[in-house]
Structure 1
Amino acid sequence: MTTQQIIRLGFTHADIRRIRSCCVRRLSRGVYSVRHVCAVEDHRRLWASIDEGTHSEFTEHGDIRDEIAELDAAVMARCEVRFQIQGQQERRAESDAAAGSTASIRTSSASPPPEVFSHITAALIHGLPIAYPVTHQVEVVRPGVNRRFKSIHVRGVTIPKHHRQEARGTEVTTLERTLIDVARTYNPDISISMLDNALRRGLTTREKILATLAQCLETRNTKRVRLALDLADARRESPAESIAAVRFFQHGFVGFVPQVEFDATSLRAKVRVDFCHRATRLIVEIDGIGKLYLGSGVPREELERERRREQWLRDQGWRVIRISWKELFKESKFEEIRRVLVGTK
């Protein structure tokens, strides 16, 4: 909701300040979201759509996913605001055209500067995964402007017209340009997980991304973009697996093949593993966000299936190393992997 929408429901500016400590979250200047249904009857007008089932409450996981969801909500809110502004501008333009050119010039000078959603913000709009929070700001491009505000990061990069598209009533960088911008700006953990996801879902190809890269006016960190493309692999199925692959590269590990499948006759099923190193008979399994370690509510039957699956691998002579989400950012597990790789050479 915008401030004006909340006021039209009968609230004052003072009310808005109070409800921010209860059931409303400020996403950016003049934009709010309802977090949950509260016990205050006077607030019903705010969360009526949740109570009626038209909208749903935020799902809180108690981990990094909550920060990403909050940024996503801020992005969607700004998209809505820009859509409303665009609609107002179009209506004014029609009115001004009928009234004469002087009014048209006045309206044009009062219009907010054009902006294009980019980087992590564009990735969220395109539905790409964010491995972990790297910014709390909505990211946009405006020609000739480089500024950071509390909730918005404005970049002055020039985006060619063919690197932009319309989405949610506003402009956003194309999927390929978004992947390139993220790879230029953020760690490979972030960019490669997006590339893996986009390639796996068939949203784009390496050839399209390279063609877009060749058209970019910006040349900063081009080597980082090419490295991210070289490391990307459509077989990887989650951001956690992508981060693990980046760690393998950073530690100099080679020979790990993602998503290898075994025919386990005794289990009457196929066993698929995250990473397989055949030369050392080593399996690496990644327990990512929401899989086992962060209270995702995995049923006991699923845990038992995992136990039987892992025991079958060990019975076949494979060594299994499991890496939790937190361990992806520590050295201990990768030193264990190094000892296995070196010890069998």
Structure 2
Amino acid sequence: MYKLLSTDDILRLGFNHGDIVRARRCCLRRLSRGTYLVRRVCELDFHRPLWASIDQQIHQVFVDHGDIRDEVNILNASLAAHFSHRADQRTDESKSDPPEEIYSHISDALIHGLPVAYPVTHQIEVVRPGVNRRFKSIQVRGSQIPKAHRATIAGAEVTTLERTLIDVARSYNLDVSVPMFDDALHRELTTREILTTLDRCLEKRNSAKVRLAIDLSDYRRESPAEAVAAVRFYEHGITGLEPQVTFHAESLRRDIRVDFCHRRARLIIEIDGIGKLYLGSGVPRHELEQERRREQWLRDQGWQVIRISWKELFEEAKFYDILCAIRRTQNATA
């Protein structure tokens, strides 16, 4: 859990508003009005009350990756702050109870531990029956959620895992929803019986889109990047690619598992996800050598290997190359 502080918390620690402004240039990040995230341990002893619990390993350091993962992490931290604020409201007898609220969509996906492949919103998403409003940091939807589609986590009301998956698929693109379906199926958190939940939803908007996301999902895929790639294959009309195929490489004395394999075209597709893209010099040299030898073995066996970086998942070029490679094989066979 990250270290989260309200303005009042910081003032009680002996800081004034000018100190808060200066700390925001250092180890403090403003999440929303009156709510702050302690990003790291800094060198200023004056700031020690802010980050002492991080130094003592009670709270986590907020890691700045310098890429799109930071935006998802910030949303997660904002969600935790909102979650905590709501809990305080419920226990403060001097204040009226907060309005009925159910976490939903991307926010609820984070609560359920589902992967968000890339940032699609900076807002916390909740359902308040009969209310449709969009604030700077919160989007309120007025949907009707049946009791059967509700659950409680740590005292907060949320939509069930299945309903969350359906809501995300209904409201967001396939490259957001399919990675979540894949993850839930891979970890056996749900099954394709999710269609039963879909049939019982009061909302019928974009139901065909939800069914398509379910059809495209596959428990064998192991990362959001692979799921995004599978969506791109569908969008470009590429078929015949089987996920997670294993080869026995006797000369290397180990098995080799590839992300996607097109057997007829003798084509291997390897996906370098967001983590690999930004690892840089943090990759141990022997792992780089192992990867090089692995790919060379595949080429020696007559396989063409195409690697797709995270950035290339959102471009056309590599998928055109894949389509051409498959068609060349089909033409040669004909």
Query: Shorter-normalised TM-score: what interval?
Result: over 0.9
User: Can you list the C-alpha shifts for 1:210-261, whole angstroms capped at 9, x where unaligned?
Assistant: 1211111111100000000000000000011001100110111111000000
Find the partner of 2:198 among 197, 206, 213. Answer: 213
Write the distance in 1 (CA, Å) between the matches of 2:293 and 2:60.
38
CA distance in 1, matches of 2:101, 2:281: 38
- What are the residue-to-residue correspondences of 1:32-181 with 2, within 5 Å? 32-88=36-92, 91=93, 110-181=96-167
Equivalences for 1:299-314 in 2 at 5 Å?
299-314=284-299
Q: Read off the aligned partner of 1:174 and give its amino acid letter.
A: T
Find out whether 1:203 has 2:184 as its counterpart: no
CA distance in 2, matches of 1:163, 1:24: 38
Greater C-alpha radius of gyration: 1
Moved over 6 A (4+): none
CA drift of 1:45 comes to 1.0
Match of 1:257 among 218, 227, 242: 242
- Name 1:25's counterpart in structure 2: 29
Q: CA deviation at 1:293?
A: 5.0
The answer for the alignment partner of 2:266 in structure 1 is 281
Give me the TM-score of the superposition, normalised by structure 1: 0.91
In the TM superposition, what whole-angstrom CA distance separates every residue of 1:259-317 from its partner, at most 9, and x where no partner exists?
00011111100010000000111000001111255427111111111111111111111
Give the partner amino acid of 1:36.
R
SS at match of 1:338: helix
- In the aligned structure 1, how far is the partner of 2:145 from the partner of 2:311? 37
Does the aligned pair in 1 maintain the 2:102–2:159 contact within 8 Å? yes
Partner of 2:79, secondary structure, is: helix
Aligned length: 326
| 2:15 match | 11
Q: What is the match of residue 170 of structure 2?
A: 184
- C-alpha RMSD of matched pairs (Å): 1.5
Letter in 1 for 2:263: R
Identity %: 65
* Alpha-carbon distance change, 170 to 128 in structure 1, aligned in 2, over 3 angstroms: same
The one-character-per-residue Cα deviations of 1:93-121 (angstroms, maximum 9, x if unpaired) are xxxxxxxxxxxxxx6xx432111111000
Contact 1:244-1:328 at 8 Å conserved across structures: yes
CA contact (8 A) 1:199 1:234 kept: yes
Alignment partner of 1:315 is 2:319: no
For the residue of structure 2 that corresponds to 1:337, the secondary structure is helix
